[in-house]
A and B are shown apart, each in its own frame.
Chain A
Amino acid sequence: MERDGRTDRPLAVAARGLEVAYGRDAGRRALVELDLEVARGEVFGVLGPNGAGKTTLLGVLATRLAASAGTLALLGGDARRPTRSLRRRIGVVPEEPAHIEALTGRENAAFFARAAGLSFADARQRVGDLLERLGLASDADRPVSEYSHGMRRKLLLVEALVHRPDLLILDEPALGLDPPSRQRLAELLGERAAAGAAIVLASNDVVDAEQWCGRVCFLHGGRKVLEGAPAELLRACGGTTRIECRLSAGRAPDVRVDGLDVALATSERLVAHSARGLAPLPALCASVLAGGAAIHAIEIRRPDLRDVFLRATGAELEAA
């Protein structure tokens, strides 16, 4: 098994030149020449706007989709020919919370545990523990057809964690969860990572990604455009203050102010990062107004991973 060059831990995911083509004559590519390494014990985030290839990447890592080109080793095994034992070491939380509607939450989780090879006794005990920890115990004996979206999402987590996988693939794991449940999820993921599992999660929530992930990568148009620890990426982004102006202008304003780095300028919005706090703000406003634009609102906040993506691609994480 390959080892991680930074930590010397075994690699759970080692992808080289990964591509996924689809459509007529496989003319469209959802993933393009993607290299990726995730070590055991690491929590790795995959970020990107809708259509960037996040779900496709997770589908390949979950052995649901086959790559069109490149190589992919999962837990030391070849993902092109996933064996039963390899799949039993992987836990998957898909985006859609599909369950067996006629059965109760407990029965659903027990079924997936048994299908993953657990004994009846182990399945019962672990399902009970996880239902309790995720706050689902009191509803565990109700049919899933009566569950809310959040409860269905929690049940997905129970089913993915019950066999204690060495590789966890999570698509928007916190979607629909209330703050206490998010906290419990963060604890569970932390425990799995501490036990040596690799966790790969896709999210649109940059706050979760910053808090939970040791490293993240950004996908854009199927390509990996940036990768690193959130803190490093934020440092490299430059600036300590993000200033956004909502405008009415005939055209994008041309703003040049010392200490201010303009990341986005359209006739409706201007986003800039300042390395000197709010000091450049008066000059910025003056420059915009001098260009004939009107300023409707100004938002000031600390830069986050959305700004890292904006700087790297010129596109916005939430919009595209």
Chain B
Amino acid sequence: MNAPVWALEWRQAARRRRLLVLNVAVPFVLVASIALGGAPRAHAAAAYAVLFAMFGVFGAAVPWAREVERGVLGRVVLTGIEPRALLLQRVLADALLDALELLPAALLLAATGRASAATTAGLALALVAGLLFANALGIWLAALADSLAETALFAAVATLLLLHGGGVFRAPAPGSALAVAQSAIPFHHLHDALRGVAGVAPPASGGVAPALWSGAGVLAALGVTALAAPWIAARAARVR
């Protein structure tokens, strides 16, 4: 199988040991300080959701923008690689890498919250889904931006808006249109899973349906990214 971008991402991650250590240690320390600091559980769960979502979006957007500025991505596009393959291999590899880097922090949450195996597995799934969405979003935002600074601004604003839309900062009335819409944002399901692990009462919209909605949200994000791949690749090939 010829998946050079997938292989490249894993190889780079293995070579950048300092970055790997930081990517594991920093979220772990932040999560530990909140989990062991006695913060209200509901607030703590929201803080974890913000941290994990930002980790995924910024981790995808900033390197993409930097590689565009340096001209590396442009060179990759000009090799004739299929744009969809370039984007999807990158999103999948980076989301899984992010999930592995966040795994110690997630396991700490499960341990401190005395979560069951099923709840912990649910968190793992929600985390992967949230990170797939975050990575696709990060690349979109970097493609829309014209500089590294603009990328960081777009990433911060879009992530916070989507976290808000996903019900992380407020709870819409059950059954309302807003409540239905928020289910399709994978950050909503991630937040629910984090609340479950933290021992907060299960949300009114609990059950299998939110997970299905979240899966649909991830597939939609990947689908839109795949459809726009030629445009995103062409943007990457242009020197800014």
User: Interface on A for B, CB 8 Å cutoff?
Assistant: 59, 62-65, 84-88, 90, 92, 94, 96, 98-100, 102-103, 107, 111-112, 114-117, 119, 143, 159, 163
Contacts and interface: CB of A to CB of B under 8 A. Distances in A.
Contacts of A59: 239
Given A64-B237, A114-B2, A94 B80 contact: no
A96 B5 CA distance: 22
A117 B238 contact: no
B15 interface: yes
B181 interface: no
A94 B75 CA distance: 8
Interface of B: 2, 4-5, 7-8, 11-12, 15-16, 70-72, 74-76, 78-82, 237-239
29 contacts: A64-B74, A64-B78, A64-B238, A65-B238, A84-B81, A85-B80, A87-B78, A87-B80, A90-B78, A92-B75, A92-B78, A94-B71, A94-B75, A98-B71, A98-B72, A98-B75, A99-B72, A100-B72, A103-B8, A103-B15, A111-B4, A112-B75, A114-B7, A116-B80, A116-B81, A117-B2, A119-B2, A143-B15, A159-B75
A81 to B, nearest CB: 10
Nearest to B14: A102
B72 A112 contact: no
A102 B79 CA distance: 20
Q: Which 10 A-B pairs have the closest CB atoms?
A: A87-B80, A88-B80, A98-B71, A114-B4, A115-B79, A102-B15, A116-B79, A115-B81, A84-B80, A98-B72
Contacts of B71: 94, 96, 98
A111 B10 CA distance: 13
A102 B72 contact: no
Contacts of A90: 78, 80
Nearest to B3: A114
A96 B82 CA distance: 24
Given A99-B72, A117-B2, 5 more contacts: A59-B239, A64-B74, A88-B80, A103-B12, A111-B8
A175 to B, nearest CB: 15
Nearest to A85: B80
Contacts of A103: 8, 11-12, 15
A112 B81 CA distance: 9
Contacts of A159: 75
Contacts of A117: 2, 80
Nearest to B75: A98
